[in-house]
Amino acid sequence: MATATNYLLTALPGVQAWFKRMVEGGALLEALGRVLVLLAIVVGARLLVKVAETFVNRLFQPERHVYLDERRVKTLSTLIASIAQYVIYFFAGVMVLQNLGFNTTSILTAAGIGGLAIGFGAQNLVRDVITGFFILFEDQYGVGDLITAGGVTGIVEEMGIRITKIRDPGGQLHIIPNGQITQVTNHMGPSMRVMFDVEVSYGTDLEQAITVLQQVLEEYAQGNDRLVEAPAVLGVQELGESGVAIRVLARTRPMEQWGVERELKRLIKERFDAQGIEIPFPHRMLIVKGSGPAGPEPVLTGRPEGEGKP
């Protein structure tokens, strides 16, 4: 303890002499001025960041962009605010270094060369980010949409500025860099189409079959909020090998088309069974006649009599 006290007492005159030289030479005032400039730069940068964030938030208010999803508006505003923040802090850092006496010209030159080298090395990353920005800005797809992108079809679980995550029907999660998405098929829309054919045998009364179909569709449409447009019978679509195909068309809300189609087919099958209307199916009948002295007679294969003919 005594040794430390003696050391401080010995060093005190030297510190006093250094402080006196600083005051007499004006170095102290210069140092204080630099500190004040540094504080002004930092405070000014923070104020500019706040002003930029406020401007961007007002520019991207949801009520001004009713044609964009609220989530996308928020993503774009956050992205642009972040870019503005980085630019402001970069120039503030250059001003701080210049105030401290560093040669900012050489630093900027080195940064430019380094940025060029990084750009060549990370060009895929840059491409992913730029593509992701335009995907968000152009509203090509969103979370929850059914899309085909990068050779994968599934539901978009997450989309960012660099990658898109798609969950396929098998449950597998595909993470696709946005730069690899060169074409997108968005299967979502204001309404989705349900269209299928119902076959009846050639011996069926077509008018009766169409009437029964229309009754089933009308009953199903009553109070069904999954439908955008009531289902309808379009008429005879094809004269097939074993029956007549009658086409049914309906329009549903997005992501409801598969469930509606399954329910309609079940209801049609149940009603046809109740009305005795036959739905044909491929089958084969073997007719074997008795054998005589010359051996068994030929085996005939084919359809029941009358089936497959108008």
Q: Phi first, then psi: what are they for 187, rounded to 5°?
A: -85, 5
Please give the Cα distance from 280 to 243 (Å, whole number). Answer: 6
Please name the helix (run of DSSP H) or strand (run of DSSP E) that holds residue 211, with its range, or none: helix 206-221
Please give the Cα distance from 73 to 56 (Å, whole number). Answer: 11
pLDDT tens series, the chain, 310 aa: 555 555 544 655 555 555 555 555 555 556 676 778 788 888 888 888 888 888 887 877 766 555 556 666 666 777 777 778 888 888 888 888 877 777 777 767 777 776 676 666 667 777 888 888 888 777 788 778 888 888 888 888 887 778 888 988 888 899 988 888 888 888 877 778 889 998 888 888 888 899 999 999 888 888 788 888 888 888 888 888 888 899 999 888 887 888 888 999 999 999 988 888 888 877 666 777 765 555 555 554 444 444 444 4
CATH of domain 192-275: 3.30.70.100
Task: For 209-268, write each residue's pLDDT tens digit.
Answer: 999 999 998 888 887 888 888 888 888 888 888 888 999 998 888 878 888 889 999 999
Total number of residues shown for the chain: 310
CATH of domain 17-121: 1.10.287.1260
Residue 304 φ/ψ region, left for φ over 0, alpha for ψ in the -120 to 50 degree band, beta for the rest:
beta
Residue 171 φ/ψ region, left for φ over 0, alpha for ψ in the -120 to 50 degree band, beta for the rest:
left
| Of 279, 259, 260, 261, residue with least CA distance to 269 | 279
Q: Is the domain 140-186 a CATH 2.30.30.60 member?
A: yes
DSSP category for residue 171: S
Domain positions in the chain: 17-121, 140-186, 192-275
